[in-house]
A and B are shown apart, each in its own frame.
Chain A
């Protein structure tokens, strides 16, 4: 006779998922307050804790948020890619909205990367723009995802599933191009004389600490913005459905 397993002793996967969900919901609930503390804290760290760079001086402090935003930009575009693939597979509109929200935030952060990079370049290299591989790749990415947003914006008016799929397809095409863009630009620049090369090795421990803190801050900021925008898009969708229902009556 098979005995019923004791529910206390076995590992219940559903329970673990429930616990994780609960932790996440707490995390989501407190995240705005965490960010409210973390952003000023990281800014203070950047301006007072991090040492002044020997060659470039104070302007090097742009570096911390600049690099973090660049990372978040790439992460956001990767999320667009993944969400697009999942959306093509299962056609749940959640994934389409996730891709859209992530692309918007990615473009926002990449814009910040480009602008802060220009200010930094003006001070450090005495030029507003240089065809450095990283800068150029960011620029091309920015253009590609602006096109993505343009497509998704023109399409959402019609709002049906087939049209949203087109945006997802472009999201995949754009992301597959990213390594190609980087490769071609890298090689293109090595042919021409490279004017400036950033020396990345000269980071002191304090600098690394501040960089990690800014990375954490900006990544959490991305997560929070993504959640907000997703909620917004969801509400918009619900509202549109309600309006359509009323119209039909």
Chain B
């Protein structure tokens, strides 16, 4: 009984965010436009058509997505801060964990939308077509985005609780993301080198799953202390 009710509450929260987004289109617009511009500038400054695309394309790909994510993560909390919406939501029978998890899922959805639209653009701009089985690549992208959304939501909630959220979020988030960035870049690079090694892919996959589960667990554990 309790589980279904929390699910219902979370579904309502996510629906609220989605509706807000559908009406204003603020976050999606900013995010997509920024990623497009950044991708274009990256591809112009890194000389497309180079031989060793494996050396730099995974890094550029993930950094375009991370920078775009940095733009929206704070905003998704700031919207709730207006007119003390966050307090009102937490006064309703919704636990802090559910609120944060709902935000996490919403941010994850946004990141997935970004990835779906921006990945083909980047691949075409750099003419960096991945080899090997695409299924594994998609799984890696899904998992890395989950980690990004989880960590980003947690730290954005932390940053927006201060007065300096805009400057704090990148400084707090990027060092904590280093293991995930490493795993993402190395995991993606495997699809651009000639000798595809499944054992390495397996390690990075397991690592990303471990990272994601730790992040989600931290979100649940720390939520009551984070939101008052």
Q: Mark B184-228, 1 if CB is under 8 A from A, else 0.
A: 001000000000000010011001001100100010001001101
The answer to whether B176 and A144 have CB atoms under 8 Å apart is: yes
Known pairs A151-B168, A166-B162, A188-B186; A181 contacts B178 (CB<8 A)? yes
The answer to whether B182 and A170 have CB atoms under 8 Å apart is: no
A177: B residues at CB distance < 8 A = 176, 179
The answer to whether A154 and B179 have CB atoms under 8 Å apart is: no
The answer to whether A154 and B176 have CB atoms under 8 Å apart is: no
* Secondary structure call for the B interface: helix
A158: B residues at CB distance < 8 A = 163
The answer to whether A166 and B226 have CB atoms under 8 Å apart is: yes
Q: Mark A150-163, 1 if CB is under 8 A from B, else 0.
A: 11001100100011
Complex: how many Å from CA A177 to CA B158? 17
State whether the Cβ of A147 lies closer than 8 Å to any Cβ in chain B: yes
Q: Which residue of A lies closest to B224 (CB)?
A: A88
A170: B residues at CB distance < 8 A = 155, 158, 172
Interface residues of B in 145-170 (CB under 8 A from A): 154-155, 158, 161-164, 168
Shortest distance in angstroms between B223's beta carbon and chain A's nearest beta carbon?
A: 10
The contact size tier of chain A is 20 to 34
| One of B178, B186, B222 near A140 (C-beta < 8 A) | B178
The answer to whether B207 and A184 have CB atoms under 8 Å apart is: yes
State whether the Cβ of A180 lies closer than 8 Å to any Cβ in chain B: yes
State whether the Cβ of A75 lies closer than 8 Å to any Cβ in chain B: no
| One of A147, A155, A169 near B171 (C-beta < 8 A) | A147
State whether the Cβ of A34 lies closer than 8 Å to any Cβ in chain B: no
The answer to whether A143 and B175 have CB atoms under 8 Å apart is: yes
B154: A residues at CB distance < 8 A = 173
State whether the Cβ of A191 lies closer than 8 Å to any Cβ in chain B: yes
Contact surface of A with B, Cβ cutoff 8 Å: 88, 140, 143-144, 147, 150-151, 154-155, 158, 162-163, 165-166, 168-170, 172-174, 176-177, 180-181, 183-185, 187-188, 191
29 contacts between A and B (CB under 8 A): A140-B175, A143-B175, A150-B171, A151-B162, A151-B172, A155-B162, A162-B228, A163-B162, A165-B226, A166-B226, A169-B158, A169-B225, A169-B226, A170-B155, A170-B158, A170-B172, A172-B222, A173-B222, A177-B176, A180-B207, A180-B210, A181-B179, A183-B179, A184-B179, A184-B182, A184-B183, A185-B179, A185-B182, A187-B204
